Structure 1
């Protein structure tokens, strides 16, 4: 991805091969760890981010917020939800029906002393002790905007716009550093009629494209679909793509392989109907624009190198990295 004629010592794409996607993913991860961009977690859990990428993520949040001030007539209302929410939310949003392979529920221990002793015996014996836990009424949030719909249930939200930064979880483990099970999304969400939502999505597709190209990334916009589960999911995915409900902004970190780093989606009346949210006298339609913060940060490392002090001045200025 780095098009510099001179090979830089901080270029995490230095060992990439045109034909070895798995090898490229491995080399990228190794380079990011050596540079302190990725921090390995004990037990093979999701990796953390080091100081440099965290500074980039903070700068991206500020940049998206400034962009929202330019794109929208009024500044969006900021809302923050935790990375867990009611288990019921997975059902209300149709996530269980559409994406059961991605969800994560929370289980805890609520037994007595004897139950604990049995758990410890199984632990010491190296046995699986997970069935000693009980599923709680909480689950991991899979999309930052989902708790917002539940919070606004039964209200009128015509032409309202909200801004959220949230932690998301999707159970899709991968050796690819660009695909994280736990990640952050910066989303801008609106409610209204069809025309309002489509206009909103169009504005944000253009704005997101400008933001990302302004940071030196080579991107393109393409119609896309969500990873619906099963045979019926294939039909849902085909319908979503045919109706152009979802667009992704893609960049090429690995040669010949594109990765989505942002998206803009039109949900029609799905969430308005599910949560009795109105826009005037009708069920609200919704649309959102989402920026994958870690993915964008790692894409910038692939493009400009892992030493942010050497990034182009206009990129450093845009992200406040001075």
Structure 2
């Protein structure tokens, strides 16, 4: 079926476990650059596209993903650790209100400028996570670059687990002719044009860096080759992270560029496990204190590659990842705002971080700062008088101290 501007492709997902439908929708956005929109409803995936070949390749790609996500009989372990029901007095379209009040400026899907009060709430949440949680662990503050070595991403297996997220970083070659030719071509064209041809092989070297997709990777890179003492260390940092997610950037809270505060544990297995579960207790306390409608549940990363089922099932069965999910009332769905992760010795081995003669165990708790603000406002609105009393008092005290 065709509309005025796009062809519509409809695929039934009856062969796929309903628990996998969201993962399939997410992954399908990467099947083709000709996809304009993807919608999931009642077990049917609807794709709007402008593929000049009619969409046969898109259909084949989605079928390949269905086969990937349905392969084997692994089962997905479900475990809700905590559930808290809040009043959620605000039920409006918070994104529309934020745009209307010019609190946010959408540059393109997933790329925003944040203004007051959103920008202050970002800092308030971050300061609270440091003072209420990171400081309780004695975490030492670190500061990381926004870019990361590709060799570091290779050690974390990012290329083989989440290749779709990569944002490569590059520059013009150290060649006077190349630099001047590029500048001249832009000048002659009357400015930069998106459709302008750019011979990457001639003008740019092979990239050595990517935009950082996760805060904790730099921590492990910084500890490479070290032998730790005692039970282990706790570090914390906030960093700008970048993940390309194609048409999924149109989804609520799925940003191209976002801020991630992490508390990172590196040490003995019991040290990491105990601190990880203490972090869960801190999250529970904040949820109750701030009257947030949320749950904390067993989860898995959105692995993209052929071994998705094996990796995801192992992660769930070992309860290596918990997510704190906030309800978004006007969408009748939830989004993950924090995750609490256990990596075993994967990163300790990859980066040669040791305690004695054994590889260190690692884990982390992450806070997506923009998501916390978006989700909080989705439940309570922009008007401060609608916010929970404890939150209002803490925010006012923080504002006074920050002046």
- TM-score, with normalisation over the residues of structure 1? 0.85
Partner of 1:139: 210
Residues 1:125 and 1:280: Cα distance change in structure 2 (over 3 Å): closer
The Cα offsets for residues 234-284 of structure 1, whole Å up to 9 and x where unpaired, read as 321121111110000111114442210111000000110011111233110
Residue 7 of structure 1 aligns with which residue? none
* 1:86 matches 2:161: no
For residue 105 of structure 2, what is the aligned residue in structure 1?
A: 39
1:130 to 1:192, Cα distance in 2 relative to 1, 3 A = same
Instruction: Indicate the residue corresponding to 1:188 in structure 2.
Output: 263
Distance (Å, rounded) in 2 between the aligned partners of 1:298 and 1:115: 41
Of 165, 169, 178 in structure 1, the residue corresponding to residue 242 of structure 2 is 169
Q: What is the Cα deviation at residue 45 of structure 1?
A: 6.8
Counterpart CA distance in 1 for 2:131 and 2:182 is: 53
Which segments of 5 or more consecutive residues in structure 2 lack a partner in the other structure? 1-85
The reply on whether 1:282 has 2:282 as its aligned counterpart is: no
Residue in structure 2 matched with residue 272 of structure 1 by the alignment: 348
Which whole-Å deviations, capped at 9, do the CAs of 1:146-189 have from their partners, x for residues lacking one? Answer: 01101111112342110111111111142124111111111111
Gaps of 5+ in 1: 5-10, 15-26
Q: Larger Cα Rg: Structure 1 or Structure 2?
A: 2
Q: Aligned equivalents of 1:120 and 1:279: distance in 2?
A: 57
What is the DSSP-based 3-state SS (H/G/I as helix, E as strand, rest coil) of the residue aligned with 1:291?
Answer: strand
1:113 matched to 2:176: no
Corresponding residue for residue 315 of structure 2: 240
Structure-2 separation of matches of 1:295 and 1:179? 8
What CA distance in whole angstroms lies between the structure 1 residues aligned with 2:286 and 2:389?
15
Is 2:267–2:362's contact at 8 Å kept on the other side of the alignment?
yes
| Offset at residue 113 of structure 1 (A) | 2.3
Shift of 1:94: 1.0
Partners of 2:295 and 2:265 lie apart in 1 by: 24
Alignment check: 8 A CA contact 2:143 2:237 kept: yes
Distance 2:300 2:351 in 1: 23
Residue 39 (structure 1) shift = 1.6
Aligned to 1:160: 233
- Shift in Å at residue 134 of structure 1? 4.0
Check the 8 A contact 2:149/2:210 in 1, yes or no: yes
Confirm or deny that 1:127 pairs with 2:193.
no
| Contact kept? 1:108, 1:134, Cα under 8 Å | yes
Residues 248, 260 of structure 1: 8 Å contact kept: yes
Decide which moves more: 120-129 or 160-169. 120-129
Note if contact 2:268-2:355 (Cα within 8 Å) is conserved in structure 1.
Answer: yes
Count of residue correspondences: 300
> What's the Cα RMSD here?
2.3
